[in-house]
Amino acid sequence: MHLFDPITLRGLTVRNRVWLPPMCQYQVEARDGVPTDWHLVHLGARAVGGFGLVIAEATAVVPEGRISPQDVGLWDDAQAEAWARVVRFGQAHGAAMGVQLAHAGRKASAERAFPGEPGGVAGPDRGGWPVVGPTDVAFPGLAEPRALTTAEVADVPRRFAEAAVRADQAGFDVVEIHSAHGYLLHQFYSPLTNTRTDAYGGTYEGRTRLVKEVVAAVRAVWPERKPLLLRLSATDWTDGGWTLDDSVRLVAELGPLGVDLVDVSTGGLVHAPIPTAAEPGYQVPFAERIRRETGLPVAAVGRITDPHQADALVRGGQADAVLVGRAALREPSWPQRAAHELGHPGPYPAAYHRGTY
Catalytic amino acids? 183
H or E stretch including 267? Answer: none
Q: Which of 49, 19, 50, 43 is nearest to 261 (CA)?
A: 19
328's CB contacts (< 8 A; 6+ apart) are 20, 46, 49, 51, 334
219 close to 228: Cβ distance less than 8 angstroms = yes
Compute the distance between CA of residue 323 and CA of residue 22 in angstroms, rounded to an integer: 9
Q: At what angle do helices 334-342 and 307-315 cross, to 10 degrees?
A: 70
Q: Which of 95, 83, 57 is nearest to 171 (CA)?
A: 83
Compute the distance between CA of residue 267 and CA of residue 261 in angstroms, rounded to an integer: 19
Residue 13's Cβ-count burial label (10 Å; 0-12, 13-18, 19+) is: exposed
DSSP state of 264: E
DSSP state of 21: P
